[in-house]
């Protein structure tokens, strides 16, 4: 049995790859670090007759088949126990082409084909099968290095061919250029995107802002095409990085909102079924199953996010279960009310096996009372709420309201340093963000509008 | 300016005809403030530095007039600056505190004996009475003896546990109402990160408290909670304070683990990150139902403890019985099957050693 488990350094001599069974396995072991022990002597610890162990998970060496089952089990458990996918859902999978979203695509496809099979086999055909679509957000316009157009086209074609190769079940592929988040009225969306990103001086802030736009773009595609859930390939390693970077950015209060399985802050709820899988495991599975991935359009994280991810990979080298520990810490923090689907009382007397399938988010949009940051969506902490209340009382300009609706972290890293730039910055933002504040402050500004003609202090904010 | 004497802080070289201080606009800027990167003059730096600490003390009501306050003094930069600044503030703002220095002599030849000399000089320089309590008197062992018995592995565990208790006992002997320690913002940020990395939610919830042990006999507080290490070094450097800057001979450099390095990198990229980490630590939504260890008292010595015996008594017991491994590593290990138990202990040892910070262990 592979003894070096999750313990990290100090493997015994049996863990060296001296007795490996061929060059391919060596290469695999090298790329997987300690996850794969690549010792041919070690047999699978799960199935007796199985082949050589290729991976170590939970302290047990596993053969390729068992490893796959293990990962699929984790995926399925998080889908079912959090009621992520209902039979009537239309699921939109955010697909970057990287290993995590590739595995998510594979797994959700398998769940769908099983559901199709049982639908065909059942007499009543009462339970419908959820539908599945795939979206790729094209971030070409904010990539620093310019890529030749034909390479990007080829990558997109690759994605199309991967998705079309998965049958049964029709899956639509959407390609969403990032600049499409700006409403249709704007003339040159790409230029506007470049401009607003250019206004942000902090490197980390820019990175976070683009991530946020990406989420917005997913929402847009989902809303326009009638999807009811958005599925992300965010994995445990990614969440562990987020835990640390949010801490470092002073977002400790809002942190638990981002590390749960379900996030219904958005109009279309977002689910993270790979919540418990490590990036290394997903990479390994892609190699074992020869799932095609592509990194061409990957945007490496920069600034503090980059620093955190290199810190986490150092921690992983020292102890391969460190990411799980970080995740566990974050899970002990209290989540927000929007981090679960609330049960619809009507279905409470269904058999417990079926009940989760009918759980629903409340039709009423405002089921949670938290005030969210205009830009990053973080729930406001007490001091931020206090500040907002104070501003509401005395705010004259709409810009003041906008800034008060940004959390302290966004204030620092995303808003321009010069306050006279605020007006310009907010005018560049996608309408989706600012109109929420507009709606909330409608009563206030209409009062002001009535007397606007008599006010001497003209400002560009109104 | 000779920057070699400073501990990691890069002081700007003097430039002829350089800018004016952004604060007073009169004098020439002499330094770039690590916390904000503002260019200010020395005098303004002293004022800001002291005033921030004063504000921290006032806003958190750390002291009441007439209290006897023990300053945990090791002779290092943090505690030396703390002793100096506190005695200054006490005078300037009439806190009405009865301050004195409290040092722990761990019995480390070539390190503590020298640093205690520094503390003794401080006693005279700042006019603060000094009390020294020693491991030898309290426990019958010096650190030199302990290292001789157990080697260089885990020795910091002993030292950390014993020091914590020694400070409390020394303070009790002198009838102190409070202990202040020189933990700075960098230390606290590092502790927050380490507790996240270790999954220690109980410590995570209390490691950012400015005052701890309020239910115990002698509360401890950290007036430097928001003070950057680099600014402390700068202050000591400009004020030419007499401090001792050698590292403990039993605690090699490696103890400034990953987390410390990470925080230094972060500070370079974004100075306010240290304060942000502390803010995150203060604001974490920790559920009130999270199980916290119950506080009781040690059956043997009466010191606060969540177990039957306090950690110091367990460790001491091990030393006296010639079983120095007693009480080190995971306590669950004993309950498991032997081989499994050994493995676990080994693993937890490795974890603690690689995650130890500069203070050996992180029991605040």
Closest to A340 in 3D by CA, of A367, A371, A364, A377: A367
Alpha helices in chain B (DSSP H): 42-59, 77-92, 112-126, 135-139, 143-150, 155-173, 185-198, 201-206, 229-238, 258-269, 273-283, 311-320, 338-355
Residues A31-63 as b or e (16 or more Cβ within 10 Å = b): ebebbbbbbbebbbbbeeebebbbbbbeebbbb
Beta carbons within 10 angstroms of residue B342's beta carbon: 13
Region B67-72: what's the mean pLDDT? 95
Secondary structure of residue B28 in the 3-state scheme: strand
State how far the Cα of A54 lies from the Cα of A43, in Å rounded to an integer: 9
- How many interface pairs between A and B have CB atoms less than 8 angstroms apart? 99
What single-letter DSSP state applies at residue A43? B
- Mind listing the pLDDT tens digit for each residue in A370-390? 788 888 989 998 888 888 888
Q: Does the ipTM surpass 0.85? A: no
Q: Which of A7, A322, A412 sits opposite B197 (nearest CB)?
A: A322
Beta carbons within 10 angstroms of residue A186's beta carbon: 15
Residues of A in contact with B283 (CB under 8 A): 252-253, 381
Interchain proximity B277–A248, CB inside 8 Å: yes
State how far the Cα of B266 lies from the Cα of B274, in Å rounded to an integer: 8
- Domain A83-332 belongs to what topology? Rossmann fold (3.40.50)
Secondary structure of residue A372 in the 3-state scheme: strand
pLDDT score for A133: 94
Which residues, 6+ apart, have CB-to-CB distance to B274 below 8 Å?
A: B185, B186, B189, B228, B263, B266, B267
pLDDT score for A343: 53
Q: What is the DSSP string of A10-21?
A: ---GGGSGGG-S
Q: Where are the domains of chain A?
A: 83-332, 382-453
Q: pTM of the full predicted structure?
A: 0.83
Residues of A in contact with B282 (CB under 8 A): 252
pLDDT score for B259: 87
- Domain B63-283 belongs to what topology? Rossmann fold (3.40.50)
Residue keyed to tokens 């928001």: B226
Chain B interface, best mutation among A252, A319, A408, by max B CB count within 10 A: A252
Q: What is the mean pLDDT of chain B?
A: 82
pLDDT over 90 for what percent of chain B?
49
What is the distance in angstroms between the Cα of A46 and the nearest Cα belonging to chain B?
19
Residue B68 has pLDDT above 70, yes or no: yes
Residue B149 is labelled as binding a ligand: no
Residues of B in contact with A314 (CB under 8 A): 258
State how far the Cα of A103 lies from the Cα of A115, in Å rounded to an integer: 18
Beta carbons within 10 angstroms of residue A113's beta carbon: 15
Range from A266-270, A311-315, B209-213, B308-312 carrying the lowest mean pLDDT: B308-312
Q: Which two tokens stand for residue A139?
A: 């971030």
Cα maximum dimension of chain A: 87
Closest to A2 in 3D by CA, of A55, A80, A70, A48: A55
Residue B113 is labelled as binding a ligand: no
Distance of alpha carbon B211 from its chain centroid, rounded? Answer: 13
Confidence grade of residue B289 (pLDDT, cut at 50, 70, 90):
low
Element (H, E) at A436: helix A431-440
Confidence grade of residue A74 (pLDDT, cut at 50, 70, 90):
very high
Closest to A87 in 3D by CA, of A111, A121, A123: A111
Closest to A223 in 3D by CA, of A432, A363, A371, A377: A432
Interchain proximity B199–A326, CB inside 8 Å: yes
Q: Which two tokens stand for residue B1?
A: 């300016």
Residues of A in contact with B272 (CB under 8 A): 250, 412
State how far the Cα of A138 lies from the Cα of A96, in Å rounded to an integer: 9
Residue B74 is labelled as binding a ligand: yes
Burial class, A253, CB count within 10 angstroms (exposed 0-12 / middle 13-18 / buried 19+): buried
Residue B104 is labelled as binding a ligand: yes
Q: What CA–CA distances, in Å, run from A174 to A92, A213, A227, A274, B65?
A: 9, 17, 12, 22, 69
Which residues, 6+ apart, have CB-to-CB distance to B278 below 8 Å?
A: B185, B188, B189, B192, B208, B225, B226
Confidence grade of residue A276 (pLDDT, cut at 50, 70, 90):
very high
Chain B interface, best mutation among A2, A60, A250, by max B CB count within 10 A: A250
Give one word for A226, left, alpha or beta, with left for phi > 0 and alpha for psi -120 to 50. left
């Amino acid at each position: 049995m592979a003894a070096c488990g999750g313990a990290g350094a100090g493997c015994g001599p049996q863990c060296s790859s001296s007795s490996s069974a061929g060059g391919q396995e060596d290469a695999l072991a090298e790329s997987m670090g300690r996850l794969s022990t690549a010792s041919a002597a070690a047999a699978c610890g799960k199935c007796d007759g199985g082949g050589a162990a290729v991976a170590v998970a939970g302290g047990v060496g596993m053969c390729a088949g068992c490893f796959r089952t293990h990962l699929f089990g984790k995926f399925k458990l998080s889908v079912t126990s959090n009621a992520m996918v209902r039979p009537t859902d239309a699921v939109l999978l955010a697909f970057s082409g990287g290993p995590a979203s590739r595995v998510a695509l594979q797994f959700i496809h398998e769940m769908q084909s099983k559901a199709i099979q049982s639908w065909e086999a059942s007499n009543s055909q009462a339970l419908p099968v959820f539908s599945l679509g795939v979206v790729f957000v094209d971030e070409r316009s904010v990539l620093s290095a310019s890529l030749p157009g034909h390479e990007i086209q080829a990558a997109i074609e690759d994605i199309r061919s991967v998705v079309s190769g998965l049958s049964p079940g029709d899956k639509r592929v959407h390609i969403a250029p990032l600049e499409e988040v700006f409403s249709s009225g704007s003339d040159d969306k790409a230029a506007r995107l470049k401009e607003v990103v250019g206004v942000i001086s902090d490197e980390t802030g820019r990175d976070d802002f683009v991530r946020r736009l990406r989420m917005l773009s997913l929402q847009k595609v989902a809303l326009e095409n009638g999807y009811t859930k958005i599925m992300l390939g965010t994995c445990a390693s990614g969440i562990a990085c987020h835990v640390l970077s949010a801490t470092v950015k002073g977002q400790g209060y809002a942190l638990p909102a981002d590390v749960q399985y379900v996030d219904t802050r958005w109009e279309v709820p977002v689910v993270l079924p790979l919540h418990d899988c490590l990036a290394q495991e997903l990479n390994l599975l892609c190699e074992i199953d020869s799932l095609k991935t592509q990194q061409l359009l990957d945007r490496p994280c920069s600034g503090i996010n980059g620093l955190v991810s290199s810190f986490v990979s150092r921690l992983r080298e020292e102890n391969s279960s460190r990411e799980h520990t970080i995740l566990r810490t974050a899970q002990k923090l209290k989540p927000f009310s929007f981090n679960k689907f609330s049960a619809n009382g009507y279905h409470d007397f269904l058999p417990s096996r079926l009940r989760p399938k009918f759980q629903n988010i409340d039709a009423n949009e405002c089921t949670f009372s938290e005030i969210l940051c205009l830009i990053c969506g973080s729930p406001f902490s007490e001091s931020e709420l206090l500040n907002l209340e104070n501003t509401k009382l005395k705010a004259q300009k709409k810009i003041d309201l906008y800034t008060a609706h940004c959390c302290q972290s966004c204030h620092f890293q995303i808003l321009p340093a010069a306050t006279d730039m605020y007006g310009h910055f907010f005018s560049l933002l996608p309408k989706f963000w600012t109109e929420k504040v507009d709606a909330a402050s409608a009563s206030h500004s209409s009062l002001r509008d009535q007397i606007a003609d008599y006010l001497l202090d003209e400002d560009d904010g109104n | 300016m000779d920057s070699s004497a400073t501990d990691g802080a890069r002081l700007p070289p003097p430039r002829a005809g350089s800018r004016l201080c952004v604060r007073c606009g009169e004098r020439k800027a002499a330094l770039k403030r690590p916390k904000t990167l503002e260019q200010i003059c020395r005098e303004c730096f002293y004022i800001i530095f002291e005033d921030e600490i004063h504000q921290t003390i006032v806003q958190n009501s750390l002291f009441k007039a007439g209290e006897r306050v023990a300053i945990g003094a090791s002779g290092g930069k943090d505690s030396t600056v703390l002793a100096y600044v506190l005695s200054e503030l006490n005078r300037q703002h009439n806190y009405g505190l009865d301050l004195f220095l409290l040092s722990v002599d761990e019995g480390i030849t070539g390190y503590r004996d020298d640093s205690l000399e520094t503390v003794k000089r401080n006693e005279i320089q700042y006019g603060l009475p000094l009390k020294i309590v020693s491991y030898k008197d309290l426990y019958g062992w010096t650190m030199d003896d302990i290292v001789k018995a157990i080697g260089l592995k885990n020795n910091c565990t002993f030292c950390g546990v014993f020091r914590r208790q020694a400070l409390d006992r020394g303070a009790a002997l002198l009838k102190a109402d409070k202990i202040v320690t020189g933990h700075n913002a960098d230390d606290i940020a590092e502790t927050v990160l380490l507790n996240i990395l270790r999954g220690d939610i109980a410590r995570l919830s209390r490691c950012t408290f400015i005052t701890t042990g309020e239910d115990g006999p002698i509360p401890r507080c950290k007036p430097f909670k928001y003070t950057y290490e680099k600014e402390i070094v700068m202050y000591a450097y400009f004020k030419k304070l007499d401090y001792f800057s050698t590292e403990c001979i039993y605690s090699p450099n490696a103890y400034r683990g990953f987390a410390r390095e990470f925080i230094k990198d972060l500070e370079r990229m974004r100075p306010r990150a240290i304060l942000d980490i502390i803010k995150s630590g203060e604001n974490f939504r920790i559920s009130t139902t999270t199980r916290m260890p119950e506080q009781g008292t040690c059956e043997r010595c009466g010191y606060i403890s969540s177990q039957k015996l306090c950690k110091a008594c367990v460790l001491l017991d091990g030393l006296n019985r010639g079983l120095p491994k007693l009480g080190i590593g995971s306590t669950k290990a004993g309950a498991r099957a032997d081989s499994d138990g050994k493995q676990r202990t080994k693993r937890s040892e490795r974890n603690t050693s690689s995650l130890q910070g500069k203070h050996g262990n992180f029991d605040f």
